[in-house]
Amino acid sequence: MPKNEVVISKENELEDFKIDLKPQIPQFPEVEISKLNIKYPLIPPYAFAHIFWDYQNKELVYFIEEPGLNPEERRILDILEDGIKELINISFLAVKDGDTVIKYLEKNLRVLIKELKIQITNDNYQKVMYYIYRDFVGLGKIEPFLCDYFIEDIECNGVNFPIYIIHRKYRNLRTNIVYDNSDKLATFVERLAQKCGHYISYATPLLDGALPDGSRVNATFTEDITSRGPSFTIRKFSQKPWPPSKLMQMNTISPGMLAYLWMLIEYEANIMIIGGTASGKTTLLNGLAYFIPPQARVVSIEDTRELNLQHSNWLPSVAREGVGLTNLVGQKYGDVSLFDLLKESFRQRPDYVIVGEVRGKEAYVLFQGMASGHPSFGTMHANSVDTMLRRLETPPINLSPSLVEILDVVVVMTQTKIKGVEVRRVTEIDEIISVKEGQGAQFHIPFTWNPITDKFSFNNQSYVFNKFNLHQGISQEELFKELEIRTKLLINLYKYGIFDYLEFRNIINEYYKDPMAILKRFNVK
């Protein structure tokens, strides 16, 4: 047989296509950034992340490594992709079971290879099958990013510009993935919109939605909006929400703060988490939800689905954008706003109400609900209590100071740098004492964070505990004793390595039912 002759594989000689959809999460070495050179699997055995120091540009970069295709493999891939568009029901590929999708896709691909009499070796078939899976089931060239546990954001700034990602450990990194064709990028943005269940066009060139896995998408469609062409940003959310023990491990919050907030949640206080963009507000809100009593009914309201509560008695509600032209009051047909959802939620007898982000007229209904006895949590873009109050008391929210005063506690978060490393910290917890018109708020700060030492401190006083004492008849001694016990329990859960979200949830639920058994199990005295 001539040396360069291609072996023609029969259909039954082609091995089944297999990928690992749940690769092991890697551990990163603690070395100088300029000496870093690591590779870890994303879609093994085909796609890998390679993080290394680019000596030419003097920066850390993130490259996706995938199998290369020669001209013949590229030609076969193009033929099969055209055939698949005609043969396969693409909507079926939205099913969540990855193995089922692969079997369905491979079955149809083998039919195409046989009918089109395509000559292909097994090695070529495996590579082509990977790219078909990536492009049809996944989101094309950015699919490996979505499979990386450590990526928080994927940012495309337009045509012919490299995609940047935000890595949990190494933060902003330039990648080797570039969209070099405006039409292809526009088509991809349209596909993103379809995956989100929305529509984007020249008439409506802005997209704000969520992918089926919960990742948040913001995109633009035309050069009229972004001069570099279509763009998109994808904010990924962990499929397994971080339990409070993970937040302690990251030193985002102290055990004492968590124990204090746990007690506030149990005694039905109203809590607002504030901070800048990407400061970790939603992550903390998800973490605090572990402390909601197991039998309590929780109703959440969001613009875009971000919350992932580990709670069985939970009703998640998401606002919906209407269609067509706006009516006389500025609403589209079928529009369901946060305001609408929040009004309805109070008819659903919630024990707790959670609003993903407070920013408009829904704040009035939320604070009215607080005043009528519905304990509520929410997040808000603000860097301090004073900034939050100005937002609440001015248009478009326009709350009266007396209504704002119903808020019990404000948790302030920030994203900052410590020794050159970006971190998220709870900088302080503020207890609202009073809010007077024209005078701002009077508040007490029981917990603070010191940026110099990166330590948290507690001043052993609490105005909110005084309220519990007056309204619920619980003595200060009992409250502070319980705070000490729960702080010790959380510290021991961390020491015992309880980082699995289901295990942590079950322990907290059991504590509500039999606290002595849990304290004995984790050696809390």
Confidence band, pLDDT 50/70/90 cuts, at residue 332: low
Residue 294 pLDDT: 95
CATH number for the region 13-235 comes to 3.30.450.380
What's the pLDDT score for residue 70? Answer: 92
Give pTM, 2 decimals: 0.80
Alpha helices per DSSP H over 253-327: 255-266, 281-288
Please give the Cα distance from 237 to 243 (Å, whole number): 14
pLDDT in tens, 221-277: 988 888 899 999 999 977 778 899 999 999 999 999 999 999 999 999 999 999 998
CA distance 110 to 95: 21
Which pLDDT score, from 0 to 100, does residue 440 have? 82
* Secondary structure element (H or E) that encloses residue 339, with its range: helix 338-345
Cis status of the peptide bond prior to 396, with omega within 30 of 0: yes
Rounded to 5°, angle at Cα 162 from 157 and 166: 75
Average pLDDT over residues 325-346: 74
| Tens-digit pLDDT profile for residues 293-307 | 999 999 999 887 788
For residues 288, 289, 290, 296, the Cα torsion angle rounded to the nearest 10 degrees is 140
| pLDDT reading at 84 higher than 90 | no
**Chain-centre distance of CA 151, in angstroms?**
10
What pLDDT band is residue 7 in, cutting at 50, 70 and 90?
very low
How far CA 160 is from CA of 134, 234, 325, in Å, comes to: 21, 18, 35
pLDDT of residue 426: 98
pLDDT band at 9 (very low <50, low <70, confident <90, very high): very low
Please state which architecture CATH assigns to domain 244-461: 3-Layer(aba) Sandwich (3.40)
Please give the order of strands across the beta sheet that includes 409-418.
Answer: 314-318, 298-302, 352-355, 376-381, 271-275, 409-418, 421-436, 440-450, 455-458
Q: pLDDT at position 343, please?
A: 83
Q: How far is CA 250 from CA 88, 134, 424, 446, in A?
A: 45, 33, 8, 21
Q: Where are the domains of the chain?
A: 13-235, 244-461
331 and 322 in contact (C-beta within 8 Å)?
yes
- How far the first Cα of the chain sits from its last, in Å, is 79
Q: What is the reported pLDDT for 327?
A: 60
CA-wise closest residue to 119 among 264, 231, 13, 36: 13
| Closest to 6 (Cα-Cα) out of 93, 102, 123 | 123
Confidence of residue 328 (pLDDT cuts 50, 70, 90): low
Q: At what angle do helices 476-495 and 501-513 cross, to 10 degrees?
A: 150
- The model's confidence at residue 167, banded by pLDDT at 50, 70 and 90, is very high
Q: Side by side, which strands form the sheet with 206-210?
A: 37-43, 47-54, 59-65, 171-178, 162-167, 151-156, 231-235, 216-220, 206-210
Rg (CA), the chain: 26
Q: What is the structure's pLDDT at 3?
A: 43
pLDDT (average), residues 63-74:
94
Mean pLDDT rounded to a whole number for the chain: 89
Which residues, including other chains, have CB under 8 Å from residue 278's CB and lie 6 or more apart?
152, 153, 166, 415
Spatial neighbors of 398 by CB under 8 A, at least 6 apart, are: 364
> Using omega within 30 degrees of 0 as the cis cutoff, is the peptide bond preceding 41 cis?
no
